[in-house]
Amino acid sequence: MRGSSLPVTPLQMADSLAEILARYTRHPVVLGRSDAEVYQLVAPDKPTLFLKYSAAYGAGRRDEAARLRWLHGKLPVPEVVHLHEDEHSTALVMTAVPGSDLTKFNGERSKVKRRLTEELARALRRFHTLEPRGCPFDHSAAREIERLEARVSKREASVGESPGLRDARAKLGALRAVLPEETLVLTHGDACLPNVLVMGRELSGFVDLGAAGLGDRYRDLERACWSLSYNYGESYDEVFLSAYGIMELDRTKLSFYRELEFFSFDETVP
């Protein structure tokens, strides 16, 4: 029996995707905040794969596939095995990155977590010092706000104006009014502990790269600090920032990216 079944039939998939899935047992992965269903694909004598599946058509899987292909050979990231898109669904099949994500060590002694926190800092510095020339993915703060404004406009076109949407526009306007000065580097885009893997306490890879691209390093520093406090405890963000090399933290800038990260509005209720 399969570990899990997808809510589509093989007739709704390209033959090549159905063939891949037919050879594997699927196990749901519930860690993280992915907007897709995530499955680990396991079969005897075959390499482990991962599948990200969305029941509705959307650009998310295509965006992640494009970023993985651009990063291939530059950083340890999954390789794209198959990308499937049709009117029913989108699906991305990737190779597995070896190692354990950093949340697997939540219960370890403080000495271990401190060492892993320092490794996270080194891993993100490696990401941020990668040559960004030619990267086509714009995740500057202004571009991120434009994307959010487009989502609000799309909802307005569907249901009309509402107090919730007016509030969302006001919040985005307030963020646009205080756009920070940015130094663009290559950023992960979701630099939380579940998305950084280690093996032997050293970096083995990055995952969940659908928002990777050019942005300010504070975009990743904010996510890392938040995730460290949530998973390891309040003091580890200071360990991280010191190991990264931040001598004087720009708290206003950090707060801006946190506000941007947690911006939300109800896209289902008028």
Positions annotated as catalytic residues are 190
Helix (H, G, I), strand (E, B) or coil at 59: coil
Two structure tokens written together for 216 = 């300010």
DSSP string of 125-157, one letter each residue: HHHHTS--TT---B--HHHHHHHHHHHHHHHHH
- Phi, psi at residue 167, to the nearest 5°? -65, -40
How many angstroms separate the Cα of 115 from the Cα of each of 59, 102, 201, 243? 37, 11, 8, 10
**Separation between Cα atoms, residue 192 and residue 206, nearest integer Å:** 10
Helix (H, G, I), strand (E, B) or coil at 114: helix
Q: Which long-range contacts (CB under 8 A, 24 or more apart) does 232-237 make?
A: 232/106, 232/113, 232/117, 232/193, 233/113, 236/113, 236/114, 236/117
Residue ranges in 160-262 assigned as alpha helix (H):
163-177, 217-231, 236-244, 251-261
Dihedral of the alpha carbons of 73, 63, 147, 194, in degrees to the nearest 10: -70
DSSP state of 103: G
How many angstroms separate the Cα of 64 from the Cα of each of 44, 86, 172, 250? 28, 17, 25, 30
**Separation between Cα atoms, residue 230 and residue 80, nearest integer Å:** 31
